[in-house]
Structure 1
Amino acid sequence: MSEASVIHDIGYQRYTGPRHGRGHVLAAIYGHGVRTAFGFGRTAKAKIFPWMVAGIALIVAIILAAVRSQTGLEVITYAQFADSVSWLIIFFVAIVAPELVSRDLHAGVLPLYFSRPLRSADYLAAKFAALVSAVWLLIGAPQVIMFLGAAFTTKDGVHGVWSELGRLLGGWAFGALWALVFASIALLIASLTGKRAFAAGGIVAVFLMTAPVVGVLASLPSRTAQELAGLASPMSLVTGVGTWLIPVKDPGIDIGRFGPVYAIEAVTLIAACLLLLLARYRKVASL
């Protein structure tokens, strides 16, 4: 070193602030995921589709609440509301799931996410919880409007309100099942490609291609085949579980005595999708 060499202090200091750890990171990814689902913090173009879908669901709920308040007639139950907006849910997850995972794959930022203290399982848990929450809000918020329309017009007083609240909670639980099944399938498909258009098309295709299979099986002469036909599609699968847990006068699907089979397949489907997701991201993290 020459006599003219000088070491300059340019002010670098160690970070001495709080270190929040994995939980804080997971919560941050979850919160960002929910905001992304509804376009918050993004351009106006990104808000159009999710809020259009939410608006349609809210309008349907307002109409149902108005009809019940004026006539006292319950057109559909809280559980049946989720069935009635199932196609909206499909298109919603087809747009939102690629935004949550395909964008990160395309941008190549996963190595940054998976550096300590965040793990691939934490990342998936946060993304899955965000999509489940968004889908559940899409179903649950309109159900609240239906509840208010019924609660303020009931003729049974407090007892009628409590009875209506119990039915609303059952509808919320059924909506959570819709959210869990659809979110797990959509995230798995979206995780296979970094191109959002391909991911969205793949999600819609899976739901569209399985729906006709149910019709074909239901047309078979075997009674057992007809009752098990709903197992072939995620939409009819969830409807079948709801028919078993929340019996109605005019069920949307005939499941016969196979209600527990529908419930077992629903749980197995969710678990299988999550395990495949975990295997997929462990492979990505190792690259």
Structure 2
Amino acid sequence: MSEAGVIHDIGYQRYDGPRLGRFAMQQALYVHGLRAAYGLGRSAKAKIFPWLVFGIMLLVAVIVAAVRSTIGEVIFTYTQFADQMSFLIIFFVAIVAPQLVSRDLRSGTLPLYFSRPLRAADYVAAKFAALASAIWLLLGVPQFIMFLGAAFTTKTGFKGVWNEVLDLVPGWGYSLLWAVMFAGIGLLIASFTGKQAFAAGGIVAVFLMTAPIVGVLASLPSTTANSLAGLASPMTLIAGINQWISGDEGTGLDLGRFGPVYAIEAVCLIASCLLLLLARYRKVASL
């Protein structure tokens, strides 16, 4: 006697809408990641740190704008603002990057993501773009406040405003370099553990422990070692690129003839982080 199966209709409605595809999935992951970076849509506890950092940077920008508008003194330029805020950026990345990727590893949602037509490259691109955008906004919005303070108090009319625009745009470009570099490094470190505390500690350690190496190399008697010292840390690497392009010697680095080397290393470092991230998530997707 054969057993017959029975199909029960329990009332679930089938989805008859459009299938949006991979790009829509990438966009959804990007928007979700950007919102999560600032704790939007999450508990009040998740909002405390990112908005505290954002508030401090806004306060600094307001003070800089107020001082310039009242006594005409420039405390620091748009590009120098990113350098001065470097430690806040490090801690921001250390908290946000694990929230974007370590949570997915710990909760086991990656197999669910990759069961759809979403590829590892799509996941990496969305998370990288979300964190880079969050970092850029962290720097770009305060820089815009500095611009408004200078533009509305200029004494040379439209010419003064235009000169501020010409200063602001490179500053935004410099902030984008910070965002891309820090997003790549932060996500790569965070992608190797599902524990957010370990990921955050690893990110802070990588950024802070490389700084003393720069000091050691800069103190050597070799001129070549002094010029290449900034390559040992992401922060001085970015500052070296700014010095090479703009001629700003306020970084304290002596690049000599090695300015292009800084740019080449930055490109290679960012590309390496993305390729390693892609390899990491291709491995996860194949499990």
Give the alignment's TM-score, normalised by structure 2. 0.96
CA distance in 2: counterparts of 1:73 and 1:119, whole angstroms: 51
Q: Deviations over 1:4-30 (max 9, x none)?
A: x99765545542211111111100000
1:49 counterpart residue number: 49
Q: Secondary structure at the match of 1:117?
A: coil
Q: Deviations over 1:182-211 (max 9, x none)?
A: 110000000010000000000000011100
1:205 counterpart residue number: 205
CA distance in 2: counterparts of 1:55 and 1:259, whole angstroms: 34
For structure 2, the residue ranges without an aligned partner over 5 or more in a row are none
Report deviation, 1:255: 1.5
1:86 counterpart residue number: 86
CA change 1:252–1:7 in 2 (3 A) is closer
> Counterparts in 2 of 1:107-256, with a 5 A limit?
107-248=107-248, 250-256=250-256
1:66 counterpart residue number: 66
CA distance in 2: counterparts of 1:55 and 1:153, whole angstroms: 24
1:39 aligns with 2:36: no
Report deviation, 1:253: 2.2
Identity of aligned residues (%): 71
Report deviation, 1:159: 1.0
The root-mean-square deviation of aligned C-alpha atoms, in Å, is 1.7
CA distance in 2: counterparts of 1:26 and 1:161, whole angstroms: 38
CA change 1:12–1:71 in 2 (3 A) is closer
Equivalent AA in structure 2 for residue 140 of structure 1: G
CA change 1:6–1:93 in 2 (3 A) is closer
CA change 1:185–1:14 in 2 (3 A) is same
Contact 1:239 1:252 in 2 (8 A): no
Q: Deviations over 1:209-268 (max 9, x none)?
A: 100000000001112211110000001000101111222253342212211110000000
Moved more, 99-108 or 222-231: 222-231
Contact 1:241 1:262 in 2 (8 A): yes
Equivalent AA in structure 2 for residue 18 of structure 1: P
CA change 1:8–1:258 in 2 (3 A) is closer
Equivalent AA in structure 1 for residue 116 of structure 2: R
The total of aligned residue pairs comes to: 285
CA distance in 2: counterparts of 1:117 and 1:6, whole angstroms: 31
For structure 1, the residue ranges without an aligned partner over 5 or more in a row are none
CA change 1:160–1:17 in 2 (3 A) is same
Q: Deviations over 1:110-151 (max 9, x none)?
A: 011112311111001000000000000000000001101110
Report deviation, 1:274: 0.6
Equivalent AA in structure 2 for residue 237 of structure 1: L
Contact 2:243 2:249 in 1 (8 A): no
CA distance in 2: counterparts of 1:75 and 1:11, whole angstroms: 66
Q: Deviations over 1:67-110 (max 9, x none)?
A: 10011111111001000000000000000000000000001110
